[in-house]
Amino acid sequence: MMRQYELVERVKRYNPSADEALLNRAYVYAMMAHGNQKRASGDLFFGHPLEVAAILTDLKLDDATIAAAVLHDTVEDTQATLEEINKTFGPQIGALVDGLTKIKRLDLVSKRAAQGENFRKLLLAVADDVRVLLVKLADRLHNMRTLQFMPPEKRKRIAEETLDIYAPLAGRMGIQEMREELEELSFQNLDPEAYEAIRRHLHELSAKNEKLVDEIEKTLTTKLRAQGIEATVTGRQKRPYSIWRKMERKSVSFEQLSDIFAFRIIVNTIDECYRALGVVHTSWPMVPGRYKDYISTPKQNDYRSIHTTVIGPGSQRVELQIRTVDMDEVAEYGIAAHALYKEGVNDNSRLAMESRAYQWLRRTIDLLAEGDNPEEFLEHTKLELFHDQVFCFTPKGRLIALPRGATPIDFAYAVHTDVGNTAVGCKINGRMSPLLTELQNGDEVEIVRAEGQTPPAAWESLVVTGKARASIRRATRAAVRRQYTGLGHQILERAFERAGRPFSDEKLKGALPRLARVSVEDVLAAVGRGEMFSGDVVRAVYPDYLEERRGVSDGKGGGQPDGAGKKAASEHPGGIPIRGLNKDMPIRFAPEGGAVPGDRIVGILTPGQGVTIYPIQSPSLAAFDNEPDRWIDVRWDLESGSTQRFPARIKLQSINEPGSLAQITQVIADHDGNIDNVSMKRRTQDFTDMTIDLTVWDLKHLNAIIAELRAKRVVSRVDRITG
């Protein structure tokens, strides 16, 4: 375990003016608070926060961050309180420790929800001070280094969480070494057999190609020096997880991989980066499609470098990264490399201007904070943490960075939520293209919009960015609520009309306390969803309506006579118009037989599902005779020449002989009917019962098909099923 003086010495190596008194005070306080607590390994618990602090000294962080690392578990795991931390170490360190303390006694239904809520708290704290994230990443790294002492199930869960969340987050913050080690440790615990197999292959390859690596390093150094470029050239093998991911992505074996080795060329200036690239490309042939310039177009985590792959000595593919000393420091330490932390300055506004990674993080947190529940928050976070990116442009030249696999829908939402919600098409590089086209680097994307458009709910499963998915989900919920609100308004208008009472939003507003709703829109949506009956609303607005209703119904059992609701619903000329399965109203058709234009119809309000449309002759309606409040007046309202199809079901008996099914389906096809489903059951040796679900234009179309089927010799009987 690290001694007190060793911690101070580690900090003073890079910060001679470090606050020794603060570090000593934090060390003693945490040691006393943790006392004899033990970890799963049997070691003293206090050793863990010291190791976390040691990791952060490697990143050369300021005194406050190191002190917070030493103290980060005291509030969560000891008798220490946040008030004591604030009083002893000041509000700055207190805020860091608070951001790292998990929420206790969560009243949540699942482990995943608790995980999401704790992660939400962490990221919201990060929005105020990114050092919270740096301590958390170091904490997770040390926990992963000692994961072997945990039970298998917990080990797997922590490794999955690390691979899904913390390793990508470290990458997004530009801390590549930490990201790679987190990935490596997760892979080692999640798939130890694959890890060992790749590690063994790499060891054998390393022994065989040791001279080749030295040769390439010397050759590159010599060629660059000949052009007056002083450079440091280092080569290394890629890590097992990086190789495994490439094998999975490209579906290739280890032996088929050719670019196992990566070399880094570190120069002094940007000009030398491009000159070094020229030396490399004139010395060896470049592999097409493997050149990326992240100097002119940096990644969102501030990473800057030139990547290229060439066919080097021995016909070996060699991957090269060319960058300056400053770029290399940012590539290794990411956001922790910024001078602000070395100076011990806490100025988030300056950091936000200096660091694109922190700007991205804060924008992402602002978006995620709008999530409706902790599990969605966790899901959206994972979607935002992609490594590989494509860079696309708006027609005005604005650069939009997206995850690999993104579509124009993701692009539209990245530009603005309103652009995504109203998108109906796109042009990619000037040509009309499908909205589901996978975008490539350098694409210019123009979104075609239509005001009043609502994004289809199916888009949610097709997009790859968290922002797009969250926006589509919100827009879909809002659209559904608008549908139910509109339906509720129409239902109440007719209910008040039948009661002979005037209806208005103002009158409804006065009855809100009696209806236990906050707004008129809430009442309308509840009626539309079937959660509140129209009669209850009428009585809430007009309390005397109950007596009038009783007077009318005396001697009639307190309700409508059998069939009265059906007659009113089917013949009422002012019934709510329906147009089929569209967005005008949340409706569906009877599951057993459907309904088609030309049928006399009735609507039944079903809580949470809207209105179900039945033909008036449907026997299923008998089940609702004692629920008059659920009966809705509806009527067909189709545009002239409409080609929309509607569901119907027929049942027939056919002679069991070869070709009978073909004759039946041919009749339906000849009449332009569309078969959705066919089920058959052998009734006797000679006859088969057949049920056919089909879609037709209207009742006339359906009757023509039934008449033609009845005329066939192989059909003994045909009937329509109406539920």
Instruction: Name the residues annotated as catalytic.
Output: 76-77
The 8 Å CB, 24+ separation contacts for 603-607 are 603/569, 603/576, 603/578, 603/631, 603/632, 603/633, 603/634, 604/630, 604/631, 604/632, 605/491, 605/530, 605/629, 605/630, 605/631, 605/632, 606/530, 606/630, 607/529, 607/530, 607/531
458 Cβ neighbours under 8 A, 6+ residues apart: none
288 Cβ neighbours under 8 A, 6+ residues apart: none
521 Cβ neighbours under 8 A, 6+ residues apart: 481, 485
Task: Kindly calculate the radius of gyration of the chain based on its CA atoms and give it in whole angstroms.
Answer: 35
What is the spatial distance between Cα 399 and Cα 406, in angstroms, rounded to a whole number? 14
Q: What b/e string do you get for 335-360 counting C-beta neighbours within 10 Å, with b at 16 or more?
A: bbbbebbeeeeeebeebeebbbbbeb
Q: Say which residue the tokens 């999401």 belong to.
A: 116
235 Cβ neighbours under 8 A, 6+ residues apart: 213, 216, 217, 261, 262, 263, 264
Q: For residue 322, which of 278, 288, 379, 382 has the smallest C-alpha distance?
A: 278
Give the sign of the dihedral formed by CA 177, CA 179, CA 184, CA 189: positive
What is the spatial distance between Cα 79 and Cα 93, in angstroms, rounded to a whole number? 18
What is the spatial distance between Cα 273 and Cα 610, in angstroms, rounded to a whole number? 64
Q: For residue 562, which of 602, 621, 612 has the smallest C-alpha distance?
A: 621
**Strands 601-606 and 610-615, sheet pairing:** antiparallel
What distance separates the 2 farthest-apart alpha carbons in the chain? Answer: 110
Within 10 angstroms of residue 673's Cβ, the number of other Cβ atoms is: 22
440 Cβ neighbours under 8 A, 6+ residues apart: 390
Contact between 499 and 542 (Cβ < 8 Å):
yes
Q: For residue 243, which of 227, 260, 231 has the smallest C-alpha distance?
A: 260
Task: Write out 378-396 in H/E/C secondary structure.
Answer: HHHHHHHCCCCEEEEECCC
Task: Give the pair of three-digit tokens for residue 275.
Answer: 């000159």
What is the spatial distance between Cα 168 and Cα 387, in angstroms, rounded to a whole number? 7
Q: For residue 390, which of 470, 292, 481 has the smallest C-alpha distance?
A: 292
Indicate the helix (H) or strand (E) that contains 516.
none
Q: For residue 455, which of 470, 475, 469, 435 has the smallest C-alpha distance?
A: 475
C-alpha distances in angstroms, 528 versus 521, 523, 619?
10, 9, 25
273 Cβ neighbours under 8 A, 6+ residues apart: 267, 295, 306, 322, 323, 324
First to last CA, the chain: 76
Task: Give the pair of three-digit tokens for residue 539.
Answer: 């009585």
Q: For residue 380, which of 394, 366, 397 has the smallest C-alpha distance?
A: 366
What is the spatial distance between Cα 44 and Cα 48, in angstroms, rounded to a whole number? 8
